[in-house]
Chains A and B, each alone.
Chain A
Amino acid sequence: MTLLGNFSLWVALLLSAWAAATSFSGGWRDKPQVALAVVRSTYGVWIALIVASIALWKGLFAHDFNIEYVAAYTSRNLPDSYVFSAFWAGQKGSLLFWAAVLATFGAIAQFTASKRHKELMPYVAGVTLAVTGFFVIVMLFGGANPFDRLSFTPPDGRGLNPQLQNPGMVIHPPMLYLGYIAITIPFAFAMAALLSRKLDTGWVHAIRRWSLLAWIFLSVGITLGMWWAYVELGWGGYWAWDPVENASLLPWLTLTAFLHSVMIQEKRGMLKKWNVGLVVGTFLLSIFGTFITRSGIIASVHSFTQSNVGYFFLAFLIIVAVVAFTLLYTRWHLLEPETELESMASREAAFLFNNLALVGIAFSVLWGTLFPILSEAVRGTKITVGPPFFNRVNIPLGLLLLALTGIGPLIAWRKASPENLRRQFTFPVATGLVIALAAMGVGIRDFYVLMALGLGAFVLGTIAQEFYRGIRARNRMHGEGVISAFLALIGRNRRRYGGYIVHLGIVIYFVAFTGMAFKVTQEVTLKPGDSTEIKSPFGHTWKLTSLGVSQYEALNRVVSAATLELERDGKPMGRINSEKRQHVDSFGQKSFEPSTEVGILSDLREDLYVVYAGSIGGTEESSFAISINPLVWWVWYGGVVLVIGGIITMWPGGVSQPARKRQSAQAGYAVPMAGAAVEP
């Protein structure tokens, strides 16, 4: 299998190098057969990397511990689902995963691209293959070959880190990877447009779904990462502003900015330079995240083992940045806007400020992530930039963004009249004020919490108003009932109303985040039969009674389960278990430190979160960390709503042909009017 794997990697490298070189040299121009060969190379590289992936999975499932990667991340008693996910659990496997998925996306992009983009496609192939080839180079020459063999064959492997033996970790990393990887396709189209000088809106249309796909994958990946951190790590939170978490947020922020600003380019022919810059920036940030994770340059709980791979990514980052921005500079004159902004009170202006806030937050997160390095370089002193810093700097920016989320949809395109603004803002502003005052009325005094609740209600008011007016209009025009009008509204204008659902998800996130301001934690020691009480921020009194600790052997671990009986305000609420898991290899030897499985009892208001900390003197007397975490489940619901909105927005169809023509007419640049100074 290692022979086949290595052979496949070399085939992928040589083929991608040839096709990328031919594409960038323009050697395919006026040679249709060569152009076709460049495009088809994408399929060849895809096949080679799929074969390599199958070879690695074969080695993993065959427990071929002579392969260093298999011995490092699996063991004979590891459940099959985790043997499967061990493919991307380590650095070397994850690089192969990245290359194989990128080759797959590249092949899909070639297969699905319409003939309208045929002049771009060889360049698109060239860029995707160059990036794929880079990952193969890292594997073959960066000491990260997953097919490296050991000089001996150990009887069993080391096994998978217990914290990675969680369903969330089976799905979370590939989702994030898929997001990072999918960004390469919009980047490839942007580069292709710059290289070919075909800088009309064609490339923007071609990447719309790929951008949304990448955004959805990133959203799912980030939310699952938060869920995994919450249920598995045992610290009772979901976001710690760790550099690697930040690295996943950065491309999400800039991609979100692009998804807004691209609408201005499509409708008004503006922001062309900005949009190319955002796509390039998003791609660079996705590579930057990979660089951070793999270089060890910044301390992080998520980092892979430190290795030379980081230098490869740093070099790649610099080369791509120089090439892309040089290309952008040389094509600057081809990216002039087709129309000018007509008023500051317009949706275009609101979107611009929304973009500024998103990119500003991205800059702020990047700044905070890199500030320790900067400080050490300037002052020679190491410092830490942790959650207190990020919360202080980013919460105000996040609230500004939340406000703009509500303002944008309320302002008309081109120019809003004072009457229009009054009509649009009255209900949402009133809603926001009422909720903020109500929150003050129930005793909430935290300024940021009040702002988040008030602004969240303002955005909610905006969304409700938009749906209400849309439904009412359909009811008047077509006589539809509320539900059918609601469904038709979403079905016929998926981008607009899907976007509102995404905004709803954002509101839910923000409101859920405020819950952590009211978190309470206490540590206790309990013998079997002992009880403790904890007051929740919602006024409930929880009583927890220890029922002792039971120990048993499972597939690859010894489980010590501490059970507590629960009462809330005197009413029985069942039992909760928190476990310690001592993982062992197939010979019964301890393979890792005991890990913790958290006990969580959730409802819509609060989570009871119990962590079995350990045993007192080797007995059933145990210490626990018990927390009440308000509104946590709304974070997961917010993620679900966000992704549903994204999928609706991305779903094909929805707008009839006449409606599309009407939209083009509204765009103002596609239908020149006689005498008007509008370019085609």
Chain B
Amino acid sequence: MDRRAWLTRIGALAAAGIATRPDRLVGQEGADPLRMPGAVQQRTAVAASQNDETVKAIEHRLKCTCGCNLDIFTCRTTDFTCGTSPELHKEVVALLESGNTPDQVVAAFVAKYGEEVLMAPKAEGFNIAGYIVPGLVLTLAGAGLAAVLMRRHRVAAQAPALAASQAGGAVAIPGGASAEELARLEQALMDVDR
């Protein structure tokens, strides 16, 4: 290998090394300070409890009290400006760690912050109306509509029969068309207009 080839090879190896190893990632004992740290929210390192599915499920049932109208989990993982939801998260974790079940945690929140802290009201007492009225109204309206339509249909169906009996049993055919022609017309209309 001549000197030129050796230098070329060394250069290529060095370039490959630089390309695959960005200098900012060398040594991970610490991270570089930001030039303008005030331009970013300051956070604490993510704790295991923040990814705990039980904690998340409880937080989805409870409203953040900061006034955002979101549940605790959504509020604390949305734009990270809220100082309330991280504190409420800590309360949830503390209650769970002290041996409470998820329902007991929720009950403790209701006792402390009132019923408004629930993202959906408990289905008891007057709140039952909240859950069943829409379905009930729709069911009753549907049944009423069906009853009215069937009654009208019966009345409409009885009218030609009544006319036929008054005319001696023969149904008056509009426009003098034959029954066969009317049947064909009916079929054609249904086919075209389907």
Residues of chain A at the chain B interface (Cβ within 8 Å): 233-237, 240, 242, 299-301, 340-344, 349, 352-353, 356-357, 360, 363-364, 367-368, 371, 375, 378-379, 381-389, 392-394, 396-397, 412-416, 420, 424, 521-525, 527-530, 547-549, 551, 558-560, 580, 582, 593-596, 611, 613-621, 623, 625, 662, 666, 673-677
Interface pick from B4-12, B40-48, B98-106: B40-48
Query: Which of B31, B81, B138, B176 is within 8 Å of A594, CB to CB?
Result: B81
Q: Which residues of B contact A300 (CB under 8 A)?
A: 69
A-B contact pairs, 28 of them (CB 8 A): A235-B70, A235-B74, A340-B155, A353-B145, A356-B138, A360-B134, A368-B130, A371-B130, A382-B116, A386-B71, A386-B120, A387-B71, A387-B119, A388-B61, A389-B131, A393-B131, A548-B24, A548-B25, A551-B35, A558-B36, A582-B39, A594-B39, A617-B42, A618-B34, A619-B37, A674-B176, A675-B172, A676-B174
Q: Does B166 contact A (CB under 8 A)?
A: no
Q: Which residues of A contact B28 (CB under 8 A)?
A: 527-530
Flag if B31 contacts A620 (CB, 8 Å).
yes
Q: Does B111 contact A (CB under 8 A)?
A: no
Q: Does B18 contact A (CB under 8 A)?
A: no
State A619–B116 Cα separation when bound (angstroms).
39
Q: Which residues of A contact B80 (CB under 8 A)?
A: 596, 611, 613-614
Flag if B67 contacts A299 (CB, 8 Å).
yes
Flag if A613 contacts B43 (CB, 8 Å).
yes
Flag if A392 contacts B77 (CB, 8 Å).
no
Q: Does B38 contact A (CB under 8 A)?
A: yes
Q: Which residues of B contact A340 (CB under 8 A)?
A: 152-153, 155-156
Chain B 89-117 interface 0/1 with A at a Cβ cutoff of 8 Å (1 = within): 00000000000000000000000001111
Flag if A397 contacts B134 (CB, 8 Å).
yes
Q: Does B32 contact A (CB under 8 A)?
A: yes
Q: Which residues of A contact B60 (CB under 8 A)?
A: 388
CB-based nearest B residue for A558: B39
On whether A620 and B34 interact (CB within 8 A), knowing A384-B118, A392-B120, A393-B134, the answer reads yes
State A345–B4 Cα separation when bound (angstroms).
90
Kindly list the 8 A-B residue pairs having the minimum CB-CB distance in the complex, ordered from nearest. A618-B37, A364-B134, A614-B41, A529-B25, A614-B43, A360-B138, A386-B119, A388-B120
Q: Which residues of A contact B14 (CB under 8 A)?
A: none
CB-based nearest A residue for B26: A529
Query: Which of B56, B61, B190 is within 8 Å of A414, CB to CB?
Result: B190
On whether A594 and B130 interact (CB within 8 A), knowing A340-B156, A384-B120, the answer reads no
Q: Does B19 contact A (CB under 8 A)?
A: no
Q: Which residues of B contact A548 (CB under 8 A)?
A: 24-25, 31-32
State A529–B146 Cα separation when bound (angstroms).
67
Query: Which of A235, A240, A551, A666 is within 8 Å of B34, CB to CB?
Result: A551
Query: Which of A381, A389, A528, A675 is within 8 Å of B115, CB to CB?
Result: A381
Flag if B34 contacts A549 (CB, 8 Å).
yes
Query: Which of A522, A580, A621 is within 8 Å of B31, CB to CB?
Result: A621
Query: Which of A386, A420, A559, A560 is within 8 Å of B190, CB to CB?
Result: A420
State A371–B115 Cα separation when bound (angstroms).
14
Query: Which of B24, B70, B120 is within 8 Å of A240, CB to CB?
Result: B70
Q: Which residues of B contact A381 (CB under 8 A)?
A: 114-116
On whether A367 and B130 interact (CB within 8 A), knowing A384-B116, A386-B120, A528-B28, the answer reads yes
Q: Which residues of B contact A386 (CB under 8 A)?
A: 63, 69, 71, 119-120
State A454–B138 Cα separation when bound (angstroms).
23
Q: Does B192 contact A (CB under 8 A)?
A: yes
On whether A613 and B190 interact (CB within 8 A), knowing A363-B137, A383-B118, A385-B120, the answer reads no
- Report the tally of A-B residue pairs with Cβ distances under 8 A: 249
Query: Which of B43, B114, B146 is within 8 Å of A616, CB to CB?
Result: B43
Q: Does B3 contact A (CB under 8 A)?
A: no
Q: Does B149 contact A (CB under 8 A)?
A: yes
Given contacts A240-B70, A615-B43, 4 further A-B contacts (CB under 8 A): A235-B78, A299-B69, A614-B80, A618-B37
Chain B 132-155 interface 0/1 with A at a Cβ cutoff of 8 Å (1 = within): 011101100110011001101101
A450 → B minimal CB distance (Å): 21
Flag if B126 contacts A375 (CB, 8 Å).
yes
Query: Which of A349, A352, A596, A666 is within 8 Å of B192, CB to CB?
Result: A666
Flag if B194 contacts A523 (CB, 8 Å).
no
Q: Which residues of A contact B115 (CB under 8 A)?
A: 381-383
On whether A615 and B42 interact (CB within 8 A), knowing A342-B156, A528-B28, the answer reads yes
Flag if A383 contacts B121 (CB, 8 Å).
yes
Flag if B174 contacts A674 (CB, 8 Å).
yes
Flag if B61 contacts A342 (CB, 8 Å).
no
Q: Which residues of A contact B168 (CB under 8 A)?
A: none
Q: Does B127 contact A (CB under 8 A)?
A: yes
Flag if B138 contacts A384 (CB, 8 Å).
no
Flag if A356 contacts B142 (CB, 8 Å).
yes
State A673–B176 Cα separation when bound (angstroms).
10
State A277–B25 Cα separation when bound (angstroms).
67
Flag if A582 contacts B193 (CB, 8 Å).
no
Q: Does B1 contact A (CB under 8 A)?
A: no
State A582–B69 Cα separation when bound (angstroms).
24
CB-based nearest B residue for A391: B120
Q: Does B51 contact A (CB under 8 A)?
A: yes
Q: Which residues of B contact A357 (CB under 8 A)?
A: 138
Flag if B77 contacts A521 (CB, 8 Å).
yes
Flag if A619 contacts B32 (CB, 8 Å).
yes
State A392–B130 Cα separation when bound (angstroms).
11
Q: Which residues of B contact A240 (CB under 8 A)?
A: 70, 74
Q: Which residues of A contact B126 (CB under 8 A)?
A: 375, 378-379
Flag if B46 contacts A523 (CB, 8 Å).
yes
Q: Does B169 contact A (CB under 8 A)?
A: no
Flag if B130 contacts A389 (CB, 8 Å).
yes
Query: Which of B56, B114, B135, B153 is within 8 Å of A343, CB to CB?
Result: B153
Q: Does B16 contact A (CB under 8 A)?
A: no
Q: Which residues of A contact B159 (CB under 8 A)?
A: 677
A399 → B minimal CB distance (Å): 13
Flag if B149 contacts A344 (CB, 8 Å).
yes
Q: Does B22 contact A (CB under 8 A)?
A: yes
On whether A389 and B81 interact (CB within 8 A), knowing A523-B50, A528-B31, A615-B41, the answer reads no
Flag if A666 contacts B193 (CB, 8 Å).
yes
Q: Which residues of A contact B70 (CB under 8 A)?
A: 235, 240, 301
A381 → B minimal CB distance (Å): 5
Flag if A384 contacts B77 (CB, 8 Å).
no
B69 → A minimal CB distance (Å): 5
Q: Which residues of A contact B35 (CB under 8 A)?
A: 551
Q: Does B30 contact A (CB under 8 A)?
A: yes
CB-based nearest B residue for A162: B79
Flag if B145 contacts A356 (CB, 8 Å).
yes
Flag if A233 contacts B79 (CB, 8 Å).
yes
Flag if A341 contacts B175 (CB, 8 Å).
no
State A675–B79 Cα separation when bound (angstroms).
72
On whether A413 and B42 interact (CB within 8 A), knowing A594-B81, A614-B80, A625-B77, the answer reads no
Flag if B43 contacts A619 (CB, 8 Å).
no
B18 → A minimal CB distance (Å): 15
On whether A413 and B25 interact (CB within 8 A), knowing A363-B137, A582-B40, A593-B81, the answer reads no
Flag if B145 contacts A389 (CB, 8 Å).
no
Q: Which residues of B contact A620 (CB under 8 A)?
A: 31-34
Flag if B79 contacts A234 (CB, 8 Å).
yes
Flag if B36 contacts A522 (CB, 8 Å).
no
Q: Which residues of B contact A360 (CB under 8 A)?
A: 134, 137-138, 141
Flag if A673 contacts B174 (CB, 8 Å).
yes
On whether A385 and B190 interact (CB within 8 A), knowing A375-B130, A582-B38, A618-B33, the answer reads no
State A596–B43 Cα separation when bound (angstroms).
14
Flag if A414 contacts B41 (CB, 8 Å).
no
State A363–B69 Cα separation when bound (angstroms).
22
Q: Which residues of B contact A301 (CB under 8 A)?
A: 68-70
On whether A412 and B42 interact (CB within 8 A), knowing A341-B152, A619-B34, the answer reads no
Q: Which residues of B contact A551 (CB under 8 A)?
A: 34-36, 39
